Amino acid sequence: MEKVSPSRYVHFEKDRCTACYDCVRICPTRALRFRDQAPRLRAGQCIGCGECIRVCSAGAVRAATCKPEHLDRDQISVALVSPVLYSQFPGVHPETVLQALRQMGFRHAVDMSYFLEMFQFATEDYIRRNRKKEESPWPIISPVCPVIVRLIAYKFPNLLANILPVVRPLTVMIREVVRLLNEKYDNPEQPFHLYYIVPCLTKMEPGGPFLKDSSYEVRALGFNDIFGDLRREICKVPWNAPLPDFFDYETTVSSLIWGSSGGETADLKIEDSLAVSGLKECMSYLEKIEMGLFREMEYIEFRTCTEGCVGGILTATDRYLAKRDIQQTILQGGIERRVTRSEFLRFYQEGRFAQKNSLSDMRRIFGVYEKALSLEKMAEIYRLLNHINGKNCAACGAPDCRTFAEDVVRGEACAEDCLELRAREKK
Amino acid sequence: MPDILFEKSFQINKKDFVHAGEASISAKNLLKSLQMDAGMIRRASICAYEGEMNVVMHGGEGHLALAIEKNRIILEISDNGPGIADTEMAMKKGFSTASDKFRELGFGAGMGLPNMKKNADEFELSSRLGEGTRVRMAFFTDAAV
């Protein structure tokens, strides 16, 4: 029968649930069913998009996060800061945000945008090298938003081949930060504690690290978990604060653009690219790409959240205010790159972009295998569906009649759960 | 005649650009949930979409019919539209009778039918002026070809 296990991304509070079924209906992977007065999640099918959290007006769906209590001053702790964080504090220089994080108790705070620029070089390089090759699957899809990668693995596995085969900026960053830490600290007693500060659920592993090695552990920390404390610390940062960190990547305000939809492609030096944001839009574009459209496009940036990462589920500032602030900053200063091509090539030749996972690995890691339906079962589904002739009322606990019919045929629900069918039988 | 194991037909509405493509998406998702050969699904969805767009642009009310047999699938796209005056010309790459309005939307490059023929294993176009058009295509699982 149905497997129910807790999700890494969301949890449901039964006491608050008003049984409105909104979460069941909105789930893009149809991972929720309403049973015994509570939504049940098929955790393996959850891609962490957070739509159920957004739609729940009763506040019964919560993001699984790892609270900052875990921060221990004796540890060698490093905050890995995505530039989206700066958009939460309009008018504050990124360097001040990093300094405030150090005051909060992180031993080091490292800006990610240097690695984002590296990633941009790698993207341009890959596209230029493969442009003339007919066999490359076009368009190339950005691997930056992990929800999109999971969505593709689950719903559009044929498009896994379109995902840019370059490691994500976070991975390159972790590799480099750990290398530098190892140079600085000789044989530390504890593993390095890395905290990735995120606007969304995608890296959540409640109470534990999402990535672990003998010398380091990486945990995720949501924006909203540190926002209050960080804002207080920002006010306390002296105007002439020294730069105490040995990680110095000369943070620039132009990195802010990464928080907004189109930020990844804005400065990408290729022929043609698109930026799509919002889950519904992304799904509709992926459907179209699967049907052979947009083959003339070189690169498509997809972001699950509307307007990009500033619209993330764990952000603390309104997405449109953040967007306006980013646009104003970029209009004033333009976009500059610190990374030079020779620096990139050195990184490249050292194999820092090498990918560990193959396509089939990705399918295994992110994908969910549903047993294929036989033709007989498919015919049965449509027979039942015609018989129900329903209005997608969801009273059965499934998001729509089609899903319900499939659940019945797969033996995961009973036909008697359908109100329409029951009413007709009584007559 | 091999046995048809499964049949399903999807409605295509005249000039309905808002929902254009939905019939092909439904057909594609049906094939995907049967986990049929991925290459065949890809080729069939490209053809279904091209065909559906043709109906929406030029045709009248139409249908996208999907039939699954043991080793192949058949797609039939038909409409009760104006029909094609010269089917030979229609098959030429770059030939199009699409209006400027549709060209502005990015359609009407004259690649629809040739692209369908290229992607299908069997292709048959028949049309009668004033009565309608029918495109019938067969796809074999890539493994079987």
Tokens 């290459």 correspond to what residue?
A: B39
Cβ-Cβ contacts under 8 Å, B48 against chain A: 291
Residue B17's pLDDT is what?
80
Answer whether residue B137 shows pLDDT above 80. Answer: yes
At residue A52, the pLDDT reads 92
Question: Which residues make Cβ contacts (< 8 Å) with residue A126, sequence separation at least 6?
Answer: A140, A164, A165, A166
Query: What pLDDT is stored for residue A141 in this prediction?
Result: 94
Helices A341-349, A113-130: crossing angle, 10 deg rounding: 80
pLDDT given for residue A204 in this prediction: 67
Min Cα–Cα distance to chain B from A418, Å: 23
> Which residues lie below 8 Å from residue A168, measured CB to CB, with a gap of 6+?
A119, A143, A144, A146
Q: How confident is the model at residue A46 (pLDDT cuts 50, 70, 90)?
A: confident
pLDDT reported for residue A14: 85
A161 touches chain B (CB under 8 A): no
List helix spans (H) across A77-195. 94-104, 113-130, 146-155, 169-184
- pLDDT band at residue B91 under the 50/70/90 scheme: confident
Neighbour count for residue A69 (Cβ, 10 Å)? 7
* Minimal CA separation from A129 to chain B, in Å: 25
Nearest neighbour of B68 by CB, restricted to A290, A375, A382: A375
State how far residue A146 is from chain B, nearest Cα, in angstroms: 23
Q: Quick check: A290 contacting B, CB < 8 Å?
A: yes
CB distance B5–A375 less than 8 Å?
Answer: yes
CB pair distance less than 8 Å for A293 and B38 = no
Look at chain A and count its residues. 427
A238-293 residue pLDDT tens: 877 666 676 777 777 788 888 899 989 988 888 899 999 999 999 999 999 998 88
- Whether A290 sits inside 8 A of B42 (CB atoms) is yes
- Cα separation, A340 vs A343, in Å, equals 5
Q: Is pLDDT above 80 for B108? A: no
pLDDT of residue A234: 92
Burial of A180 (0-12, 13-18, 19+ CB in 10 A): middle
**Cβ-defined contact of B21 to A291 (cutoff 8 Å):** yes
As separate numbers, helices (DSSP H) first and strands (DSSP E) second, chain A gives 14, 12
Per-residue pLDDT, averaged over A285-310, amounts to: 91
What confidence tens digit (pLDDT) does each residue in A191-218 have? 888 899 989 887 766 556 777 788 888 8
**Sole residue written with tokens 């972009």:** A353
CB A56 within 8 A of CB A39: no
pLDDT at A43 over 90: no
Residue A360 to chain B, least CA–CA distance (Å): 14
What DSSP character marks residue A221? E
Round the average pLDDT of chain A to a whole number and report it: 85
Among A292, A370, A375, whose Cβ lies nearest the Cβ of B6?
A: A375
ipTM, two decimals, is 0.79
- Going by pLDDT thresholds of 50, 70 and 90, the confidence category of residue A3 is very low
Joined tokens for residue A363? 């399918």
Is the confidence at residue B145, as pLDDT, over 50? Answer: no
Confidence band for B44, pLDDT divided at 50, 70 and 90: very high
Per the CB < 8 Å rule, is A291 touching B25? Answer: yes
Q: Rounded CA gap, B94 and B126, in Å?
A: 20
Q: Give helix A169-184 / helix A113-130 axis angle, nearest 10°.
A: 130
pLDDT of res. A1 = 32
Test A378 with B33 for CB contact under 8 angstroms. yes
pLDDT of residue B142: 60
Q: How far is CA A317 from the centre of its chain?
A: 18
Identify residues of B whose CB sits under 8 angstroms from chain A CBs.
5-6, 8, 21, 24-25, 28, 30, 33-35, 38, 41-42, 45-46, 48-50, 68, 115
For residues A265 and B145, the model is more confident at: A265
- Strongest mean pLDDT among A404-408, B11-15, B95-99, B100-104: A404-408
Question: How many alpha carbons lie under 13 Å from residue A397 in its C-beta half-sphere?
Answer: 17
Phi, psi of A216 (to 5 degrees): -155, 160
Task: From chain A, pick out residues whose CB is under 8 angstroms from the CB of B120.
Answer: none
To the nearest whole Å, the CA of A227 is away from the closest chain B CA by: 42
Question: Which SS3 state, helix, strand or coil, does residue A126 take?
Answer: helix
Joined tokens for residue A382? 């449509």
Asked if A382 reaches chain B (Cβ–Cβ under 8 Å), the answer is yes
**Contact (CB<8Å) A158/B48:** no
Percent of chain A whose pLDDT exceeds 90: 27
CATH fold group of domain B6-140: Heat Shock Protein 90 (3.30.565)
The CA distances from residue A126 to A133, A293, A337, in Å, are: 11, 21, 19
pLDDT exceeds 90 at position A307: yes
> Which domains does chain A carry?
1-63 (3.30.70.20), 68-366 (no CATH), 374-427 (1.10.15)
Give the pLDDT band (50/70/90) at residue B47.
Answer: very high
Sorting pLDDT into bands at 50, 70 and 90, what band is A346? confident
User: Cα separation of A421 and B10, whole Å?
Assistant: 25
Given a cut of 50, whether residue A147 has pLDDT beyond it is yes
* pLDDT tens digit sequence for A62-77: 887 766 665 667 788 8
Return the minimum-mean-pLDDT range out of A1-15, A200-214, A287-301, A327-341. Answer: A1-15
User: Which residue in A has a C-alpha nearest to residue B52's C-alpha?
Assistant: A291
**What pLDDT does B144 receive?**
46
Share of chain B above pLDDT 70, in %: 89
pLDDT the model gives residue A281: 94
How is chain B split into domains, by residue range?
6-140
Is the pLDDT at A236 greater than 70? The verdict is yes
Q: How confident is the model at residue A367 (pLDDT cuts 50, 70, 90)?
A: low
The per-residue pLDDT for A5 is 47
Chain A residues with beta carbon closer than 8 angstroms to that of B28: 287, 290-291
Q: Do A291 and B49 touch (CB under 8 A)?
A: yes
The rounded distance, in Å, linking the Cα atoms of A127 and A116 is 17
3-state SS assignment for residue A78: strand
What pLDDT band is residue B96 in, cutting at 50, 70 and 90? Answer: confident
Question: Across the interface, do B38 and A158 touch by the CB < 8 Å criterion?
Answer: yes
